[in-house]
Amino acid sequence: MKFKDYHIDNKLKMQLDYLGFKRPTDIQFRAIQAILDGEDVMAVAPTGTGKTAAFAIPVLQQIIQNRKANNRRISALVLVPTRELAKQIAEVFMTIGMKTGIKVLGLYGGVDQDPQIKALNSNVEVLVSTPGRMFDLIAQGFVDLSAVKHFVIDEADLMLDLGFNDDIRDVQRHLPYKRQTLFFTATLNKKIKSLAYDVVRNAIRIHVSPKNPVSKNVQHAVSRVEMDDKRFFLENLLNEFEEGKFIVFVRTKVRAERVVAAMKRAGISTEALHGGIEQKERFGILERFRKAENTILVTTDVACRGIDIPDMDYVVNYDLPENPENYVHRCGRTGRGNNKGHALSFCAESEVLLLEDIETYTGHKIDTYDLKPEEYHAIVSESDAHDKNWKKLLADNDNPDAWD
């Protein structure tokens, strides 16, 4: 089936064709028609599968159909856990619905509320919001959810991790009883199921998940590197792949700043992204990275979920994550769609148990690059005599079936 075969408005079809949307992904194929039919949906789909469009397309279509009855009030509420996701998902709605005239607003904290209030007063029909700013503006009387027909909860597992489960339940008090609820999550456990059953009614269940949660388009490798030496290995790697686009994950915002400072001393330009940076600047950093004005981003796990960066070549786990699920989400920033990607990890002696947890969670051993003592010393001492080995590592381990 192709997008042109769906019973959706021609304005949507034209825009989807312009954007290069020809055939739906698995999650889109299984969700779009159910949503168009008015069903509640509970969907489990891994990162990078196109789930935002899976709910954006049919929600936009239903708003077009029911526009007169809704009188240009907020018809769809999309609740998300982070400001970055709110901005990104709002942009997806705007892009797909560009020809429809449907007004979309991304609502989040960390920025001045006055422009958001002004936008709310100009017939917003799709509201993509984080809980905090939304409840704040509800209390001030600027957000009215009484006409919402479509309630979408995206990245529900992260919402729970960040403590938003009560907010998800509370928002229902402001919504009409008769509505469509769409519940999307990347992972599923008892807590997420319990939350889902509280908000969806007789939902269509969709589960799009391979046996291995890590995309088979991503090639993985790990190298044993002591904590104090990681900066030398990162420098070596970045110098070897000067044309590549890198996202480097660290454990804390202090670590992020230290890595950026270390790379600056080595003459390598990078930017840090973490929760300690003002929201407006965080958006600017991500935008520069998307446009490849900066090609190396050093970040905490604030960017590991849902953030879509085009043409991402390499994910570097400078520090291994304490939660093995975050390894999957980090690596999901590359190898998206049909693209290939690489995930390279540095593992210190103190992180061996974290590596084992990751391998247990994914069900696969990560290929290890064992350095000879002289090779390790050459990288740390920045010897010009050292023959860089990262390209050889990737070539030697280039097995597309390793993570099937």
List pLDDT tens digits, range 211-229.
Answer: 455 666 788 999 999 999 9
Higher pLDDT, 398 or 16: 16
Asked whether residue 302 carries a pLDDT value surpassing 90, the answer given is no
- Average pLDDT over the chain reads 87
- Residue 400 has a pLDDT of 44
Q: In this prediction, what percent of the chain has a pLDDT beyond 90? A: 52
Return the higher-pLDDT residue of 153 and 304.
Answer: 153
Summarize pLDDT for 162-186 with one digit per residue, the tens: 788 889 889 999 999 999 999 998 8
* Residue 56 confidence (pLDDT) above 90: yes
Return the higher-pLDDT residue of 266 and 161.
Answer: 266
pLDDT cut 70: percent of the chain above it: 89
Identify whether the C-beta of residue 369 lies closer than 8 Å to the C-beta of residue 398.
no
Confidence of residue 401 (pLDDT cuts 50, 70, 90): very low
Q: Taking residues 352-374, what's their average pLDDT? A: 88
374 contacts: CB under 8 Å, gap ≥ 6: none
On the question of pLDDT at 403 being above 50, the answer is no
pLDDT of 31 above 60: yes
pLDDT at residue 383 greater than cutoff 60: no
| Domain at 3-207: CATH architecture | 3-Layer(aba) Sandwich (3.40)
Positions of CATH 3.40.50.300 in the chain = 3-207, 218-396
**pLDDT for residue 394:** 58
pLDDT at 40: 95
Per-residue b or e along 132-145, where b marks 16 or more CB atoms closer than 10 Å to that residue's CB:
ebbbebbeeebbeb
DSSP output for 102-135 = --EEEE-SSS-HHHHHHHHTTT--EEEE-HHHHH
* Cα-based distances in Å from 167 to 46, 87, 132, 172, 205: 24, 19, 9, 9, 23
Residue 161 has pLDDT above 90, yes or no: no
Residue 402 has pLDDT above 60, yes or no: no
What's the confidence (pLDDT) of residue 404?
A: 43
**Least-confidence region, from 112-116, 141-145, 370-374:** 370-374
Whether 233 has a pLDDT exceeding 70, the answer reads yes
- Answer whether residue 158 shows pLDDT above 90: no
The Cα–Cα gap between 247 and 176 comes to: 42
Cα(218)–Cα(313) distance, integer angstroms: 10
Beta bridge partners of 181: 151
Tens-digit pLDDT profile for residues 278-293: 888 888 998 899 888 9
Model pLDDT, residue 243: 84
What three-state secondary structure class fits 249? Answer: strand
Mean pLDDT to the nearest integer, 186-192: 82
Whether residue 71 has pLDDT greater than 80 = no
Class of domain 218-396: alpha beta
Please report the pLDDT score of residue 386 as a whole number.
Answer: 43
Query: Alpha-carbon distance 145 to 123, whole Å?
Result: 13
331, 315 contact by CB (below 8 A):
yes
Q: Which of 303, 315, 347 is nearest to 220 (CA)?
A: 315
Rounded distance between C-alpha atoms, residue 326 and residue 346, angstroms: 15
pLDDT the model gives residue 213: 55
404 by Cβ neighbours in 10 Å (0-12 / 13-18 / 19+) ranks as exposed
User: Is the pLDDT score of 130 beyond 70?
Assistant: yes
